[in-house]
């Protein structure tokens, strides 16, 4: 029975959800659309027929399809391998898989070039270079590899929610092979989580910019986002600025076409109300399988995270690009260039901003997931995906157009931009775990006299704590090294860490930018380790 | 109040304080000017410090970003209450000319001995970029630009991204790039990307700006910098005062300072090439040849030129 307090809580939830969606997402999107319509509708035909436009749209979709097609199976495979509690060093692997999340986008491309391109690390060490890294294949591989941790997280939450080890064991006992069990039981049960991961990766890749720009441009590979960047670069000409906003609006429409049907479909499929059994007794393969799995995982992680990270650290430690990274050439200069009193101040601000953004996003993500089963809730979840797909620069422009008059140069406008860009990233992992909620337990609490808030706080929240911690950490890490939006929105007294480094050196001085990412990695490793310990406690 | 609710209230209050507390600009606009620039901190910070030392009580608020972000910021300002800069220091004359055409800046320039080729009634060039050749050690340095095509795997910066690259395109013409492309050259994004690629050995040679090439050589990267004939392409970065500034006197004082002997000396000693003759600047070989594109023609033919170029290196 609905109590007066419950109605109040629901009302507050809807108010926060709709108010925030309006302020954070709808206003900037509408401002972009307004600019595009009022100033650019006369040029729409020209934008659509400009040489290379069709190719760029095709490239964007091909890249999204390829990255999704690569990242989702790899992420599922890793999640399944790491599901086995008897896997040697499982705790360590679980952390290692998340390493790509720590590397900022703007150095990701460089780290791969330094690792694999002509005259790169593999060339120095083994005489082997991967020439294809600079081109469409390289872009797809790098984007996919950086998306794998996200797929892994979503599938892991899915496994915790949906897997049925008892049925799997029964199938094993009846003589089914591991592959048959996977094909006929595990994967079908995981289907909604897989679909969620696929949508998130597809959308994220549509909006990705830094890797296509650094790795794709030399091979003549342009996407919608690289064209938006090129238009903004010549944005001193009002026509090209408006063209950039038109391209951004087109990207939003294309995303809507892809995401809205998928979300409606997923929304229905996610409405299950049972809890799964614990996976502690999950049957794993034979001895050979158990030995091969860590080997495969190690090879994958060394190739995709190890070598690029070593390349990054060596760039940060070496006095110049192109000299061998031997002790004679090691220097702390790049770190000293990053560690100045100004960067110290900016670091404090960045930590505070990221903490604030991640904490607000946690609340917003929770409310969106909680109310996401209604048609209006699903509408909001589609809406917040639209700012995830926009390149950071256009989100920032939307914010300036909407709020620049009052909030220009303040920390508040940067915070709003972070909320807009990362809301979907916070919401999706939480949303994928809400049907773990035991409605029976919740009903029992209510029947015993607990109001909705107490029921949610004592029964629901503890169960989805791993998903909450995951969402918070994802947002905190992403916000900490964000540079595109901050560099457009900052003002005196609101510089973030990445902005200060960008301004002192541009991003062209790779030694300094590599030092920045090593520093950011070090800064987040400590809280990440603490969070990981918390997650373990929460799961125990 | 429950523990959860207390925590939530504390978080909400904290966030409110964070956003409102940090929302006040450090000083009021009447006491200070806001400078928008694409010049990096190495140059602009010493210039601001020197200007403040010479003008007691003056404050300069800085917004610094690469050209693309800077343009986006100006375009967003215009659509949300008006340009918030009092002075703009751009990295190329085409960007500044666009701001003049929109009626945002110009109408006044300080008295100066900076050559007329770098002055208009609306803005004055205060710093120069030179597009030079960079080769990996062991490769022959090109004596003239035509030889660059035969220098191995060559990289050029994107004229749609870097104004310096557009200046070079305007000077050389599309045939030069077609020749480079036919011999295997690739286009990367920025001049810094060319420098990094050549230093790392991904490319054998390329076209980049002198500051970037000399910085790499100075730090020990195995590269050689050359000024091929007929000359390095010079691109000037101009300064202009906003038409809507509320602190016109201080804005004009700043523009006067950076065009003066004293201001130019600071620019020259902080990593940028000054435009005032005989003021010392960063490394430049004696009698190094330089050339300039025809900026006036380029301003009107930019779109057509980029369209032709797109047929060579793609769009």
**Cα–Cα dist B216/B218, whole Å:** 5
- Please check the confidence at residue A144 and state whether its pLDDT lies above 90: yes
B161 neighbourhood in chain A, CB within 8 Å: 229-230, 233
What integer is the mean pLDDT of B93-111? 93
Q: What is the pLDDT of residues A445-500, one digit of tens each?
A: 767 777 767 777 776 777 677 778 878 888 988 888 787 888 888 887 788 887 87
**Cα–Cα dist A184/A191, whole Å:** 11
Domains in chain B: boundaries: 28-127+234-274, 129-233+290-313
Give the residue from A501, A507, A505, A504 showing the smallest Cα distance to A110.
A507
**Cα–Cα dist A390/A394, whole Å:** 6
Q: How many CA atoms lie within 13 A of B39 on its CB side?
A: 31
Fold of B28-127+234-274: D-Maltodextrin-Binding Protein; domain 2 (3.40.190)
B72 neighbourhood in chain A, CB within 8 Å: 232, 235, 241, 244, 393, 396-397, 488
B219 neighbourhood in chain A, CB within 8 Å: 319-321, 511
**Cα–Cα dist B110/B124, whole Å:** 8
Q: Residue B271 region, left (φ>0) first, then alpha (ψ -120 to 50), else beta?
A: left
B74 neighbourhood in chain A, CB within 8 Å: 235-236
Q: Chain A residue closest to B313 (CA)?
A: A220
What integer is the mean pLDDT of A259-264? 72
pLDDT band of residue B246 (cuts 50, 70, 90) is very high
Instruction: Report which secondary-structure segment, H or E, holds B62.
Output: strand B59-64
B20 neighbourhood in chain A, CB within 8 Å: 412
Give the per-residue pLDDT at A163: 64
pLDDT band of residue B15 (cuts 50, 70, 90) is very low
Q: How close, in Å, is residue A237 to chain B by CA atoms? A: 6
Is the Cβ pair B68, A393 closer than 8 Å?
A: yes
Is the Cβ pair B187, A218 closer than 8 Å?
A: yes
- Please check the confidence at residue A31 and state whether its pLDDT lies above 80: yes
Residue of B47, B106, B136, B189 for testing the chain A interface, max A β-carbons within 10 Å:
B189
Residue of B39, B63, B96, B134 for testing the chain A interface, max A β-carbons within 10 Å:
B63
* Average pLDDT value for chain A: 81
Q: Chain A residue closest to B42 (CA)?
A: A504
**Cα–Cα dist A104/A307, whole Å:** 16
Residue of B9, B29, B73 for testing the chain A interface, max A β-carbons within 10 Å:
B73
> Tokens in use for A103?
């590397």
What integer is the mean pLDDT of A46-67? 89
Q: Which of A87-91, A181-185, A217-221, A471-475 has the highest mean pLDDT?
A: A471-475
Select from A236, A360, A504 the Cβ nearest to the Cβ of B98: A236
User: Beta-carbon neighbour count of residue B140 at 10 Å?
Assistant: 14
**Cα–Cα dist A51/B296, whole Å:** 26
DSSP conformation class of A306: I
Q: What is the pLDDT of residues A487-525, one digit of tens each?
A: 888 887 788 887 877 676 554 567 887 887 788 777 777
Give the per-residue pLDDT at B207: 97
CATH superfamily of A4-539: MetI-like (1.10.3720.10)
Give the per-residue pLDDT at A234: 67
Q: Which of A263-277, B62-76, B270-284 has the highest mean pLDDT?
A: B270-284
User: Would you say the CATH fold of B129-233+290-313 matches that of B28-127+234-274?
Assistant: yes
Is the Cβ pair A113, B75 closer than 8 Å?
A: no
Domains in chain A: boundaries: 4-539
**Cα–Cα dist B71/A233, whole Å:** 7
Is the Cβ pair B315, A51 closer than 8 Å?
A: yes
Cis? peptide before A424, omega within 30° of 0: no
A492 neighbourhood in chain B, CB within 8 Å: 25-26, 61-63
**Cα–Cα dist A266/A288, whole Å:** 37
User: Based on the number of CB atoms within 10 Å of its own CB, is A374 exposed (0-12), middle (13-18) or buried (19 or more)?
Assistant: exposed
Residue of A236, A314, A391, A479 for testing the chain B interface, max B β-carbons within 10 Å:
A236
**CATH code of the region B129-233+290-313:** 3.40.190.10
The β-bridge relationship of strands B273-274 and B32-37 is unpaired
């Amino acid at each position: 029975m609905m109590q007066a307090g419950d109605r109040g809580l629901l009302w507050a939830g809807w108010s926060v959800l709709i108010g925030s969606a309006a302020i954070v997402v709808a206003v900037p999107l509408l401002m972009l659309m307004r600019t595009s319509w009022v100033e650019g509708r006369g040029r729409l035909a020209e934008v659509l027929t400009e040489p290379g436009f069709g190719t760029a749209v095709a490239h964007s979709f091909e890249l999204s399809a390829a990255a999704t097609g690569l990242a989702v199976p790899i992420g599922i495979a890793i999640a399944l391998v790491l599901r086995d509690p008897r896997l040697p060093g499982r705790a360590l692997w679980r952390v290692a898989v998340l390493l790509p999340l720590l590397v900022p986008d703007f150095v990701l491309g460089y780290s791969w070039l330094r690792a694999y391109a002509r005259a790169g690390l593999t060339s120095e060490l083994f005489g082997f270079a991967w020439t294809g890294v600079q081109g469409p294949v390289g872009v797809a591989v790098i984007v996919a590899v950086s998306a794998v941790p996200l797929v892994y997280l979503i599938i892991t939450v899915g496994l915790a929610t949906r897997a049925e080890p008892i049925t799997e064991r029964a199938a094993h006992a009846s003589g089914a092979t591991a592959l048959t069990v996977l094909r006929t039981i595990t994967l079908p049960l995981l289907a909604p989580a897989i679909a969620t991961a696929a949508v998130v990766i597809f959308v994220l890749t549509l909006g990705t910019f830094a890797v296509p720009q650094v790795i794709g441009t030399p091979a003549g590979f342009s996407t919608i986002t690289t064209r938006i960047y090129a238009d903004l670069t010549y944005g001193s000409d009002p026509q090209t600025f408006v063209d950039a906003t038109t391209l951004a609006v087109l990207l939003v429409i294309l995303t809507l076409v892809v995401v809205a049907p998928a979300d409606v479909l997923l929304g229905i499929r996610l409405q299950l109300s049972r809890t799964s059994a614990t996976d502690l007794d999950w049957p794993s393969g034979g001895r050979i399988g158990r030995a091969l799995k860590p080997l495969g995982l190690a090879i994958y992680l060394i190739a995709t995270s190890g070598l690029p990270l070593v390349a990054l650290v060596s760039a940060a430690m070496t006095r110049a690009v192109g000299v061998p990274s031997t002790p004679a050439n090691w220097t702390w200069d790049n770190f000293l260039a990053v560690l100045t009193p100004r960067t110290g101040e900016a670091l404090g601000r960045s930590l505070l901003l990221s903490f604030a953004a991640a904490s607000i996003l946690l609340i917003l993500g929770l409310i969106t997931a909680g109310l996401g089963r209604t048609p209006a809730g699903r509408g909001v979840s589609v809406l917040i995906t639209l700012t995830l797909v926009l390149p950071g620069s256009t989100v920032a422009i939307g914010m300036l157009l909407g709020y620049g008059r009052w909030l220009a140069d303040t920390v508040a406008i940067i915070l709003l931009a972070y909320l807009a860009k990362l809301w979907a990233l916070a919401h999706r992992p939480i949303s994928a775990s809400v049907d773990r909620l035991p409605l029976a337990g919740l009903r029992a609490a209510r029947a015993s006299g607990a109001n909705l808030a107490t029921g949610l706080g004592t029964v629901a929240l503890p169960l989805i704590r791993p998903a909450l911690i995951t969402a918070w950490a994802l947002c905190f890490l992403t916000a900490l090294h964000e540079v595109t939006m901050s560099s457009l929105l900052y003002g005196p007294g609101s510089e973030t860490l990445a902005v200060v480094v960008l301004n002192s050196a541009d991003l062209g001085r790779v030694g300094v930018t590599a030092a920045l990412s090593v520093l950011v990695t070090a800064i987040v490793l400590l809280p990440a380790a603490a969070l990981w310990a918390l997650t373990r406690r929460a799961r125990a | 109040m429950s523990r959860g609710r207390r925590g939530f209230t504390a978080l909400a209050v904290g966030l409110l304080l964070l956003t409102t507390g940090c929302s006040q600009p450090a000083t009021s606009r009447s006491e200070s000017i806001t400078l928008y620039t694409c010049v990096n901190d190495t140059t602009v910070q010493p210039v601001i410090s020197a200007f403040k030392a010479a003008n007691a009580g003056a404050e300069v608020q800085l917004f610094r970003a690469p050209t693309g972000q800077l343009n986006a910021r100006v375009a967003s300002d215009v659509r949300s209450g008006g340009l918030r800069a009092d002075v703009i220091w751009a990295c190329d004359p085409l960007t500044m000319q666009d701001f003049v055409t929109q009626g945002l800046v110009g109408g006044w320039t300080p008295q100066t001995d900076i050559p007329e080729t770098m002055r208009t009634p609306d803005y004055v060039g205060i710093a120069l970029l030179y597009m030079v050749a960079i080769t990996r050690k062991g490769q022959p340095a090109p004596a003239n630009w035509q030889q660059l095509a035969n220098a191995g795997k060559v990289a050029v910066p994107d004229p749609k991204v870097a104004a310096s690259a557009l200046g070079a395109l305007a000077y050389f013409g599309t045939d030069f790039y077609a020749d480079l492309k036919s011999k295997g050259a690739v286009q990367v994004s920025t001049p810094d990307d060319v420098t990094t690629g050549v230093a790392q050995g991904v490319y054998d040679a390329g076209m980049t700006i002198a500051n970037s090439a000399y910085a790499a050589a100075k730090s020990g990267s195995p590269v050689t910098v050359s000024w091929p004939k007929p000359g390095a392409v010079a691109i000037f970065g101009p300064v202009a005062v906003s038409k809507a500034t509320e602190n016109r006197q201080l804005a004009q004082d700043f523009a006067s300072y950076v065009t003066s002997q004293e201001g130019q000396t600071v620019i020259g000693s902080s990593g940028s090439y000054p435009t005032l003759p005989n003021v010392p600047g960063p490394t430049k070989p004696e009698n190094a040849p330089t050339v300039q594109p025809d900026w006036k023609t380029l301003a009107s033919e930019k779109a057509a030129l980029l369209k032709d170029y797109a047929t060579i290196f793609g769009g």
